[in-house]
Structures are given as C-alpha cells and as structure tokens.
Structure 1
C-alpha cells in the first residue's frame, strides 16, 4: 500500500522550542515501506515508483503485517555518514550490492489501522513498538525535544546535511507540504564565476577563479537576475551553450562538493561584481 509522504517546508535558521522534535536530516532517498495484511513487502519512492525488486535484502525484515513506514534509504561512508552519491549509485543499478540501510522516522499504518491522524509523539511510541530493535538494515531515526540550535551546530561541525524540526502534536498530512515539518539545510557557500549558459533549458555554467568547471546552476535564480547573464556579450556559441566574454562573479550556496569536485545543487545568493 502506497501512502503519499508528508513533505517539509524550509526554515532559514534553526530554533529552540519545546513544541518541536529535532531530528537529523538524512542525505538519502525518501522511501515508503509497506507490508500488506498478508505480509507482502513493497517499497516505494516518494513519487510512487515501486522499487521492491532492487532491494531484496529489505523484503525479509521483521516488520508486522499491516504496517506502513516512512523513512530514508541511505548508504554510509567509512566515517558513518550518509553518502548520497553512493545511495544513488545503488538505486540506479540493478546489479549493485552496496550495503544499504532504511532509517525510518514515522509510522503511517500499524496493525492494519491508519495512524496518520495521531499526534507525532504518539506515532513515535507506536513506531518504537513496530521496530523495537535497530539493526544495520532497519533502524529508527533518533530525536530530541527542542534544542534545535545546538543540534544544528553539531550537525555543521560534522558536515552533515541538516536537521528537521517537527511539531510534537502534528498529524501526518498525507501528500502535503506542511509548515509543521521544517528542514534547515547546512549549506556551504562559495564565490564562483558564471562563464556561460545552456541554450535549450535554464542553466548557468560555473567555474572557480582558475577557470575550473564547477557544474551547472539550475535553481534559485530570481527572474530579474537572469537578465544580467543573458544580456552579457557572448564570446562563442555551440549548439547547446553560449559562453560569456567576461565571466560574472557571484556567491552561491550548495549542499556539498561531489566526488568529482562539482557543486551539488548550487543556488544563487548574490552578485559580487
């Protein structure tokens, strides 16, 4: 049974509130783990793509029939941190055998009954009953009450993705984005140069001060800022790209550097020239 997951809004800053639970934001792939009344397991992405056959090791977990769990599929690196590129590599290949873990943070159905209308804290208690023991394959995300600012500082010190702040009394809003769940991303910042742009779909080519390619910026650029690049003098063109005579310096925020030393999901912050 697929249940469309509840989605998060963004918060620019962490905060402390006794009305919220604070969790680590895991850098992986959102998964719905479903066990029907007959005990058959089905795995879904957030977009309702069934991917059960790709992860046979998750089909024999000790989860009771009539259960639907919400969580994140991750692969951990040698330091025990989630590795997004590694989990995507495992996800995209039917032959890969990289060890994966499903870390769950909510229960949407238990004992064949919906739990989505219950407050979050009650669902956490039920989740602890459904998954009493954490294993390498299946575990529960840890949480604290309040202390969002300190938790976020610890996340930054460990170069992790961010935190999630959830109202204790929040119901599970199926298929909706809710301000009751907030994500605070641990962005990194860099001063880079826009060297050109894609011609067929939006995307700015980025490079560092030495001209080393850093990837394509596709998000977070206000329409008024786009015009500065499109009006700039063009040095040369190909079928797919236009290259500027003079690169334009700007600041971007991004999730992290990829293994190829590219910026992951760069987003425009401001012009620097």
Structure 2
C-alpha cells in the first residue's frame, strides 16, 4: 500500500444548510492514515511522512478493527486539561529516538478519532458516499481504549457555539452524499475555524538575560522570498523548552536579516538562518501584513519553504 494525500476541506465562514450536511469536531491534532495490508500496519500523516514508530498503539489493529485489509483516515490527539493540545501531541509526533518514545508513551497518552474508511478488504471504496462509508466504519470498528469514531452533529451552528465556549479549534461540515477524492480539496467538506493558525519560519529572535524571549516569524511568497509577519513570545512553551530552543537557535546566528521586509523589532534582534518552524495561532491579519496576537503552539518538523503566505 502506497501512502496517499487525504481529502481536505476548504475554509468557509458560512454554515452549509440542508439534510445532506453533518458537522464534526475539528480536532487540534495530527492527521494520521492507518494502512493495514493483512500483514503489517503502517501509519502516515497527510504529507505522506511515516509515523508508525511514533504511535505504536495504533499498530495493534486487530484490537480495534475487524478487516482483512483497510485504510483508515483520522486524527491523533492528546488531551490536556480535558481539551486537545497540539503542543502535547507534538511531543509524540516529533520523536525520533526510541528511548524518548518509551518516555513519551508513558507520559503522553493519545487518542485516535477515526472519521473515514477508504479501502476495505482489497477494494477502494472512495466512490461510495460518505454516509455509506460511515455505516461500514461503524460495523468494522471494535470498542477499544483510545479509539473512537467521530460523532456526527446535525446542527453545525450549535456545535460551533459549543466549540467556541470550550476554546477549541473549529468544526468540519461534510456532505453525506460526497465521494472521497484522493489528494482532493473542495467544498464537499468545509471547515469553520474558531481561530486561525499557520506554519511560520523563525528568522530571528530577541533575548532577555541571554535567553530567547520572542521569535521573529516569517513566511514565503510564491517567488521564494521570506516576509516578516510578526513576533511572538507567548504560547505553550515551558521554561525548559525555551532554554532548549535558545541553545539550538543561537547556533544559527547570521549577520543579515533573512526577511525581505524590515521587522519592527530591528534594533534588538538576532538574525537566524531560517531552519526552524513553528505552528502559530493568531486572531487576524493586520493591515500592515502582520499577525495580531500570535501565540506559539509548538515546534513542527516541516520544511521552511512549506510555510507559505496566505
């Protein structure tokens, strides 16, 4: 089984109406597809990067699914104070050392929210409707700790209100009559987000008492130029994580700014070779092209040139 790019929703501000539409929680986690060929299980994220080592619990597929072969689509999440935490799940997703994995498996419990089945018993079923695929999914999933099928809600506006009250990421609305297009992205699935987020490159830092206290963030345009989009010093990082980040980033110092435009915090900045990337949550874009109230969620392992301007 070769990994595929999953179907993606498009962003919207309006809730779709009609009996064919359902809404699901948009979990703040990592999109993971599970591939079972009858002999072994492999896990890949939406960019086709393998994650089998990071989530060994999901390889025990006979404990939670009955099928001769299949491909499942879902989201791996980690809870913190009862809510999904991207920062926490990245402690698993970013691991490369087996020694650290053993520690993380004991300390970072994951859940797998399954919302689709694409391949079953040797047959692609992506041309079937979502309603039919969900019905099959309910038949083949077995009750198991940490494995859940995504719930459907008929009233997307009410679900979104609940999401806002819990300060969670958003909702995804799906047409029950829709097929699943490999690598597709269109309005048969729509996402409405409670807040906005993006991937950004670290192009500079400011220091306080020899420790990084803010990141100067950038994103690339289609011509490959890096634009400064704001700075962030708040978010999910612990003191220990700031200390480790300081150690790593200051090895990347360079004389000149990597940004094509001039950051507002020019005088006290240290410029960096743009190698590290982060996920940032923010309220909106300002008229000047910077992020309003950016908050750092986690370091992420993506190429800097995948951090693109909206």
Do the two structures share a fold, i.e. TM-score over 0.5?
yes
Contact in 1 for aligned 2:171/2:193 (Cα 8 Å): yes
- Residue 113 (structure 2) aligns with: 103
For structure 2, the 5+ residue unaligned runs are: 198-214, 220-224, 236-259, 273-286, 300-308
> Using a 3 Å threshold, how does the CA distance of structure 1 residues 162 and 232 change in structure 2: closer, same or farther?
closer
Q: CA deviation at 1:254?
A: 6.9
Residue 240 of structure 1: SS of its match in structure 2? Answer: strand
CA RMSD of aligned residues (A): 3.5
> Using a 3 Å threshold, how does the CA distance of structure 1 residues 257 and 14 change in structure 2: closer, same or farther?
farther
Task: Give the structure with the higher percent helix.
Answer: 2
Number of equivalenced pairs: 230
Structure 1 moving runs of 4+ over 6 Å: 195-200, 231-235, 248-251, 254-257
- Residue 55 (structure 1) aligns with: 55
For structure 1, the 5+ residue unaligned runs are: 190-194, 208-212, 216-228, 242-247, 261-267
- Residue 116 (structure 1) aligns with: 126
Contact in 2 for aligned 1:188/1:253 (Cα 8 Å): no
- Residue 90 (structure 1) aligns with: 92
> Using a 3 Å threshold, how does the CA distance of structure 1 residues 34 and 197 change in structure 2: closer, same or farther?
closer
**C-alpha distance in 1, partners of 2:33/2:46?**
7
Task: Confirm whether residue 240 of structure 1 aligns to residue 271 of structure 2.
Answer: yes
- Residue 125 (structure 1) aligns with: 135
Provide TM-score, normalisation by structure 2.
0.64
Q: CA deviation at 1:102?
A: 1.2
Q: CA deviation at 1:3?
A: 3.0
- Residue 161 (structure 1) aligns with: 169
Residue 178 of structure 1: SS of its match in structure 2? Answer: strand
- Aligned ranges for residues 67-82 of structure 1 at < 5 Å? 67-79=70-82, 81-82=83-84
Q: CA deviation at 1:82?
A: 0.9
Contact in 2 for aligned 1:15/1:149 (Cα 8 Å): no
**C-alpha distance in 2, partners of 1:236/1:53?**
44
**C-alpha distance in 2, partners of 1:105/1:233?**
44
Provide TM-score, normalisation by structure 1.
0.72
Q: CA deviation at 1:100?
A: 1.0
Contact in 2 for aligned 1:75/1:101 (Cα 8 Å): yes
Residue 129 of structure 1: SS of its match in structure 2? Answer: helix
